Chains A and B, each alone.
Chain A
Amino acid sequence: MEFVTPPRVRRLSLDDEATVVLDDVAIDPAREEPGSGFVSAPRRKVAQASGAIDRMAVEQLTIAYSGRPAVRSVSLPIRQGEVLALIGPSGCGKTTLLRSLNRLTELNRATSTQGRVTLDGVDIARLEPTSLRRRVTMVFQQPNPFPMSVFDNVAYVLREQGKRRPKRKVVQRAVYDALGRAGLLDEVRGNLDHPALRLSGGQQQRLCIARALAAQPEVLLLDEPCSALDPRSTEVIEELIVKLREEVAIVIVTHNLQQAYRIADHVAFMYLGDLVEYGSGSSLFRAPREQRTKDYVSGAFG
């Protein structure tokens, strides 16, 4: 783990004496223990996930916005029982890649796609978008519960399109189940009828996760789900993600390298639309093969 030498830090003294130049604060690489910094921090996984199953495969995928490619011939496996983290600096195409997995990119008419993505061996371009999006659901960066009650937020997903049926009693069990899986049920049991927008930010985001889980998806996409949250809510959601990976394949986009290290089984580093490196969490952070990966995870840029 090597850090570039930080600049000397000067501090102006308050009582107008001579400016004091402090000691050089560069970290001596020789004295560093191997695997220092966050790489020595505990990871959240209790045990390595047993028997990961291939669910989705990205094959030579290129996505362009009005002719300008945002993702360039990327190939990746997405497995159930694993958390896959997409990392990289802003504008590297990781969110575009994530959104292409449930065809949300198609909402923008200027998008063109090459290559293919398969879900259980079937090209997703041949699936009907609404049924695909029920199998591959998504949680967004900003907590965005709908302006209705906590219960209705989850029930909305279970009901058919714009209908109000089935009625509350019929969906109640599934709603409780989804809230329970998202670890929110105990906190909201008494106020299921309160407006969802009155919950705290972390609770709102877990409600969004419950909403995404209510559709019984096979793959869960998370686009920087913790970037708007405080550290404590982040911790709760990270633990939740690690627990959920047994039942659904999880793909998470994150700006936060420490977070990727804490929760990911596999990490994909993207830079300017290219997939630079894909590997297990520990190998990519401890022993990156590519120079660009090494520079990024050591904080040289990004």
Chain B
Amino acid sequence: MSALAAPPPAPPSAPLRDAVESSGSWRITDRIGLAICWFLGLLFCAIAASIVIFMLIEGIKYVRPSLLVTHPAAGFGESDSGGFLDTLIGTVVVALIGVAIALPLGVATAVWLSEYGRPYALARVAEPAIEMIAGTPSIVLALFGSLIFSSPALGFLSRTSGGVVFGRSFFAAGAMLSLIALPLIVGSTREGLQSIPAHVREASYAVGKTKAATIRRILLPTARPQVLTGTMLGVGRIIGDTSIIVILLGATLTLNGVGGVPLLSVLRGTGSTLTSYVYQNSPSGEGNQPTKAYAAAFVLLLIVLVLNGAVEVVTRRARRRTGWSS
């Protein structure tokens, strides 16, 4: 009995070994695979770094603080074509409109898909439909949008002249751009909701709470980091889109308001964003002021980098908050 109960004798004390395995002992094919992995990893780092560094160097050469606060103007030289204040405002406005539409719709859709999923048949159809929207090229969305917003019924959203609806305005572009952000918000929110274990929902039901109260007080606050992540990724996609801007916002040099109401006139009017500004000032665009294009691209890249950094911070913080075991 006692021999059975006693633990095996302790081995003579040896120095602690690190749990590092040397690839030197691997098969040659495995070692080649490892080398390819290293190569690809370094390659992608190099590509990302060269984009950022190149744009930084080119951008810093041409970017001036004054560019950010002066209106663009039609001109042939660098000195008389002005800055890109209007396009900066345009970028912010389309992002705001897009998020204002996509965030409530996206979160509501995700809650419905994840928490209710009924009627079942509709939910089964809605999922691939959202994925289809996500997969639609934005130029197709833009054409579709111009069809919708040129209809007389929606004439109040854009410029109308002699019964012809132009169908180009911040409203039109923002609405179509929200479709680009929507799938990202739905997907991310849904993922957040589904990562909450079932017993947490039941714990709320088990103290007499309704489904609505549980969603509002427990589930959505828990999924907030994922909602934020989806939103910021969506904003990144919105401000990076060009085709919808060119077709539905007009890509005019300055903000051209319609009507006399202060804010509404801007929203009903045309304008441009940093992306369309870069396009038009690139060597293939009408403006052809490459230095302005570099400066605007630099600002655009900075905004996107800041957004990506914010996503990283939010996801890290969410991961650090200890969760439940399922």
Q: A133-B206, A144-B200 are in contact. Are A228 and B4 (CB under 8 A)?
A: no
1/0 contact string of A205-234 vs chain B (CB within 8 Å)? 000100110110000010000001000000
Instruction: Find out whether the CB atom of A144 lies under 8 angstroms from the CB atom of B321.
Output: no
**Complex Cα spacing A228 to B321, Å:** 19
**Could you say which of B4, B208, B322 contacts A25, with CB atoms under 8 Å apart?**
B4
A104 within 8 A of B: yes
Distance in Å: Cβ of B51 to nearest Cβ of chain A? 38
What is the chain B residue whose CB lies nearest that of A160? B213
Segment at the B interface, from A35-43, A135-143, A272-280: A135-143
| Contact A141 to B199, CB < 8 A, known contacts A147-B222, A197-B321 | yes
B48: A residues at CB distance < 8 A: none
Contacts of B210 in A (CB 8 A): 130, 161-162
CB distance from A77 to the nearest CB of B (A): 22
Q: How far is the CB of B213 from chain A (nearest CB, A)?
A: 4
Q: Does B128 contact A (CB under 8 A)?
A: no
B319 within 8 A of A: no
**Contact (Cβ within 8 A) B209 A130:** yes
Which A residues between 124 and 180 are near B, CB-CB below 8 angstroms? Answer: 130-134, 137-138, 140-144, 146-148, 156-157, 161-162
Residue of A nearest to B9 (CB): A14
> Can you name the residue of chain A whose Cβ is closest to the Cβ of B218?
A146
Return chain A residues, CB-CB under 8 Å to B199. Answer: 140-142, 144
Contact B213 A144 (CB under 8 A): no
Given contacts A146-B218, A147-B222, A156-B217, contact A140 B4 (CB under 8 A): no
Kindly state the separation between the CA atoms of A208 and B202 in the bound complex, as whole angstroms. 12
Q: Would B321 and A133 count as touching, CB distance under 8 A?
A: no
Taking the complex as formed, is B324 at the interface, i.e. its CB lies under 8 A from any CB of chain A?
A: yes
Smallest CB gap from B5: residue in A: A25
Q: Are B206 and A212 in contact (CB under 8 A)?
A: yes
CB distance from A268 to the nearest CB of B (A): 21
A148 and B203 contacting across the interface, CB-CB below 8 Å = no
Q: Does A22 contact B (CB under 8 A)?
A: yes
Whether A23 is near chain B, meaning CB under 8 Å from some CB there, is yes
CB distance from A237 to the nearest CB of B (A): 16
Measured in the bound complex, the distance between the Cα atoms of B221 and A197 in whole Å is: 14
Chain B, range 78-122, C-beta contacts under 8 Å to A = none
Give the distance to chain A from B219, nearest Cβ to Cβ, in Å: 10
A288 at the interface (CB under 8 A from B): no
Known: A9-B4, A198-B322. A146 touches B200 (CB 8 A): yes
- In the assembled complex, A195 has its CB within 8 A of some CB on chain B: yes
Kindly provide the distance from the CB of A12 to the nearest chain B CB, expressed in whole angstroms: 10
Chain B contributes a number of interface residues (CB within 8 A of A) equal to 30
Q: Is B291 located at the chain interface by the 8 A CB criterion?
A: no
Say which residue of B8, B202, B205, B207 sits within 8 Å of A14 (CB atoms).
B8
The complex places the Cα of A45 from the Cα of B161 at a distance, in Å, of 88
Q: Which of A142, A146, A198 has the largest count of B CB atoms less than 10 A from its CB? A: A146
Are B202 and A161 in contact, CB atoms less than 8 angstroms apart? no
- Chain A, range 1-37, C-beta contacts under 8 Å to B: 9, 11, 14, 20, 22-23, 25
A107 within 8 A of B: yes
Do residues B207 and A211 form an inter-chain contact, with CB atoms below 8 A?
yes
Q: Are A104 and B213 in contact (CB under 8 A)?
A: no
A102 within 8 A of B: yes
Least Cβ–Cβ distance between B226 and chain A, in angstroms = 13
A residues whose Cβ falls under 8 Å from a Cβ of B: 9, 11, 14, 20, 22-23, 25, 102, 104, 107, 130-134, 137-138, 140-144, 146-148, 156-157, 161-162, 195, 197-198, 208, 211-212, 214-215, 221, 228
What are 28 A-B contacts with C-beta separation under 8 Å? A9-B4, A11-B3, A14-B9, A22-B3, A25-B1, A104-B205, A130-B208, A133-B206, A133-B208, A134-B208, A137-B207, A138-B202, A138-B203, A140-B206, A141-B199, A142-B199, A142-B324, A142-B326, A146-B200, A146-B222, A147-B221, A147-B321, A162-B216, A162-B217, A195-B321, A197-B323, A208-B203, A221-B206
- The 4 A-B pairs with the shortest beta carbon distances in the complex, nearest first, are A134-B208, A162-B213, A138-B206, A161-B213
- Having A104-B206, A147-B221, A198-B322, one finds 18 other A-B pairs with CB under 8 Å, namely A14-B8, A23-B1, A25-B1, A107-B202, A130-B210, A133-B206, A134-B208, A141-B199, A142-B326, A144-B324, A147-B218, A147-B222, A162-B212, A162-B217, A195-B321, A208-B203, A215-B207, A228-B325
